[in-house]
Amino acid sequence: MIELKSPSEIEAMRPAGRFVASVLTALRDAADVGVNLLELDALAHRMIRDAGAESCYIDYHPSFGAMPFGKVLCTSVNDAVLHGLPHDYRLRDGDLLSVDFAASVDGWVSDSALSVVVGTPDPEDLRIIKATEDALAAAIAVALPGNKLGDISATIGDLARANGYTVNTQFGGHGVGRTMHGDPHVANDGRAGRGLKLRPGLVIAIEPWLMRTTDDIYTDPDGWTLRSADGSRGAHSEHTIAITDGAPIVFTDRGVA
C-alpha cells in the first residue's frame, strides 16, 4: 500500500534524514586501512544510542535473510555488493567499501548508502562509484510531480548502460515512512513514461547499485551478504527523497547534515 505523506509529516521526517546523513559522514571519515568492519558498526551503534534513535537493521528478518541481521550497518567490501554483514575484517589498502544505513528518529525512517575506496584507489573503482552517484543524481532530478516511476528507473538504467554496465533488478529502491521498506518498489531499470504517477507526499529511497562486469549475484554463506557472480567489484549509492510540488527534498543529503 502506497501512503502519501502530508506536509507536516514531510517536515517530521527531516530529523531522521539528517541523522542518517551524519552517521554516514562519520563512517566515511572513519573508514581507513586497518579499521575493522565491526568497529564501524560499533561507531554507528554508539551514534544511534547517543541520538535516541532506533536501528532499522538489527532485528530485520525478511524472507531473503537467513536470520535476523543482528548489526546496524551493511558493510559490503569489493565483490560483496549488497547487504554485507559486518564481520571481523580489517580494511586493506585499495578496498572498495559500500556502507548502507537506515534508522528511525521519532518514528520516521531514512535510508542511505555510499561507496568509498580505502587507501590507494583503482581508477575503475572510482569510475563505478561515480556512475552510481551520477545515476542517483539524475534519478532525483526527474523525481518530479507528474512524471512516472518508470522515468526514475529508466534514467538509472540508461546512465548505467551509457557507462558500460549492466543492471541487476532483483533489488532496488523502495517506499519509506514509518518502516524501512514499503511500496512502491523502485527498480533500477525500466521504461520511461510507465508506472505510478509521482505525486507530492510520496517518499522513496532511490538506490542505484552496479557491478563492474556482471549483473548476476549469489548469497554468501553468512546468509545475508550478496556477492557478484564473477568476483567483480560493485558500488552503491542511495538517498531518501520526498516528491513535492517542486523540486524533491533529499532528506539524506550529506551536504546539509
Bridge partners of 205? 174, 240
> Can you tell me the distance from the alpha carbon of 45 to that of 48, in angstroms, rounded to the nearest whole number?
5
Which of 79, 238, 85, 75 lies closest to 172, judged by CA? 238
Residue 207 among known ligand-binding residues: yes
Residues in the chain: 257
Residue 158 among known ligand-binding residues: no
Residue 238 among known ligand-binding residues: yes
> Can you tell me the distance from the alpha carbon of 230 to that of 233, in angstroms, rounded to the nearest whole number?
9
Q: Where are the beta strands (DSSP E) in the chain?
A: 54-55, 74-77, 80-82, 96-105, 108-117, 173-175, 182-186, 203-206, 209-211, 217-219, 226-228, 234-236, 239-242, 249-250
CA-based angle 184:73:55, to the nearest 5?
A: 70
CB 99 within 8 A of CB 79: no
Q: If you compute the radius of gyration of the chain from its CA atoms, what whole number of angstroms results?
A: 17
225 CB-near residues (< 8 Å, 6+ apart): 76, 80, 82, 83, 84, 85, 219
Which of 238, 147, 196, 140 lies closest to 3, judged by CA? 196
Residue 83 among known ligand-binding residues: yes
Residue 88 among known ligand-binding residues: no
**Residues annotated as binding site?**
83, 100, 111, 174, 181, 207, 238
**Residues annotated as binding site for a divalent metal cation?**
100, 111, 174, 207, 238
**Residues annotated as binding site for substrate?**
83, 181
